[in-house]
């Protein structure tokens, strides 16, 4: 008769070992290495990941506001300590009409803010120049400090030193026949070719008489000027009550193209 074949002993041992592994699982072996955070197939980046840190970075601070229409060269001429700027922008190099806006920067981090204007204004009969000379009938372009005021009428509440004097009286007619009376009822001296800290009536000319002088902001008489800037009387009163020596006011003046440099 035939005898049933039995598997060899080594084969039986291997079979028992495989059965034991199936019953106990793989916990007895070393744990698989953890995939790095953010690796492909591992889901969204966690809160400690580099990607999350980049997303949480604060937004950059906005730059302080600049005065519209002024180019880098003109902005660089405004003194760092100036916190008021009366900007007079001419319609063109040879035009005698312009627009005026008063800006202030109470908080340097926020920059310049328009606080008054725009107001209609006049400038020199023949427009603007980078090199003003006596009698050219052009207003000097540039940035100039404002430190002194005065006029024929009593002080309306000016913050700048104010000189009330009858010598501010004027008569005659302008270029288009308009009366000049009252033009100097209120004035603010523009510190072009003059000594700061004295009455606008002072005739000292540090650059020489040939470079002109007596350039003021004054009451508009309805026409172009010899070289000054003029604005309506009620605006002059407002300007005098607003320009503050503690804020180191300046005037920025010129035609639009020049100011944009």
Distance CA 206, CA 45 (A): 70
What DSSP designation does 247 have?
A: G
Q: Under a CB-based contact definition with an 8 Å cutoff, are residues 100 and 217 in contact?
A: no
As beta bridge partners, residue 84 has 104
pLDDT for the residue numbered 208: 97
Q: Under a CB-based contact definition with an 8 Å cutoff, are residues 178 and 125 in contact?
A: no
Q: Are strands 229-231 and 97-104 parallel, antiparallel or unpaired?
A: unpaired
pLDDT for the residue numbered 58: 63
Radius of gyration of the chain from its Cα atoms, rounded to whole angstroms: 39
The pLDDT > 90 percentage for the chain reads 74
Q: Is the pLDDT of residue 42 over 50?
A: no
5: confidence class by pLDDT, cuts 50, 70, 90: very low
Q: Is the pLDDT of residue 45 over 70?
A: no
| Averaged pLDDT, 148-155 | 98
Q: CA torsion, points 127, 130, 134, 138, in degrees to nearest 10? A: 0
Pick from 166, 163, 170: nearest CA to 226:
170
pLDDT for the residue numbered 35: 42
Q: Is the pLDDT of residue 164 over 70?
A: yes
Q: Under a CB-based contact definition with an 8 Å cutoff, are residues 214 and 179 in contact?
A: no
Distance CA 261, CA 259 (A): 6
Output the DSSP codes for 3-37: ------HHHHHHHHHHHHHHHHTTTTSPPPPPPPT
pLDDT for the residue numbered 115: 97
Round the average pLDDT of the chain to a whole number and report it. Answer: 85
| Averaged pLDDT, 228-236 | 98
SS3 54: helix
Q: Under a CB-based contact definition with an 8 Å cutoff, are residues 260 and 71 in contact?
A: yes
Q: Under a CB-based contact definition with an 8 Å cutoff, are residues 124 and 225 in contact?
A: yes
- Render pLDDT for 192-220 as a digit per residue (tens, 0 to 9): 999 999 999 999 999 999 999 999 999 99
pLDDT for the residue numbered 107: 84
- Render pLDDT for 168-178 as a digit per residue (tens, 0 to 9): 999 999 999 99
Residue 215 has phi, psi (to 5 degrees) of: -90, 115
> Tokens 């009550």 map to which residue?
241
20: confidence class by pLDDT, cuts 50, 70, 90: very low
Q: Flag the least confident range among 11-20, 47-56, 229-238.
A: 11-20
Distance CA 243, CA 82 (A): 11
Within 8 A by CB and 6+ apart from 171, the residues are: 179, 180, 181
- Render pLDDT for 48-69 as a digit per residue (tens, 0 to 9): 455 544 555 566 656 789 999 9
């Amino acid at each position: 008769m035939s005898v049933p074949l039995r598997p060899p002993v080594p084969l039986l041992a291997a079979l028992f070992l495989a059965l034991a592994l199936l019953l106990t699982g793989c916990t007895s072996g070393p744990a698989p290495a953890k995939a790095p955070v953010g690796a492909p197939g591992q889901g969204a980046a966690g809160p400690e990941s580099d990607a999350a840190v980049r997303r949480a970075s604060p937004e950059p601070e906005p730059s302080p506001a600049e005065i519209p229409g002024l180019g880098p060269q003109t902005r660089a001429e405004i003194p760092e300590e100036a916190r008021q700027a009366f900007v007079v922008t001419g319609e063109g190099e040879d035009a005698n009409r312009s627009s005026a806006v008063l800006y202030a920067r109470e908080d340097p981090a926020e920059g310049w803010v328009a606080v008054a204007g725009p107001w209609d204004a006049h400038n020199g009969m023949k427009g603007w120049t980078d090199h003003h000379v006596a009698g050219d009938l052009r207003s000097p372009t540039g940035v100039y400090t404002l430190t002194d005021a005065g006029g024929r009428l009593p002080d309306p509440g000016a913050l700048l030193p104010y000189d009330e004097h009858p010598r501010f009286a004027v008569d005659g007619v302008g270029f288009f026949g308009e009366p000049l009376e009252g033009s100097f009822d209120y004035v603010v001296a523009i510190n072009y070719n003059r000594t700061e800290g004295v009455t606008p009536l002072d005739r000292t000319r540090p650059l020489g008489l040939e470079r002109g002088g007596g350039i003021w902001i004054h009451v508009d008489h309805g026409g172009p000027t010899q070289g000054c800037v003029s604005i309506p009387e009620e605006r002059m009163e407002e300007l005098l009550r607003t320009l503050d020596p503690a804020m180191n006011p300046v005037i920025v003046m010129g035609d639009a193209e020049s100011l944009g440099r």
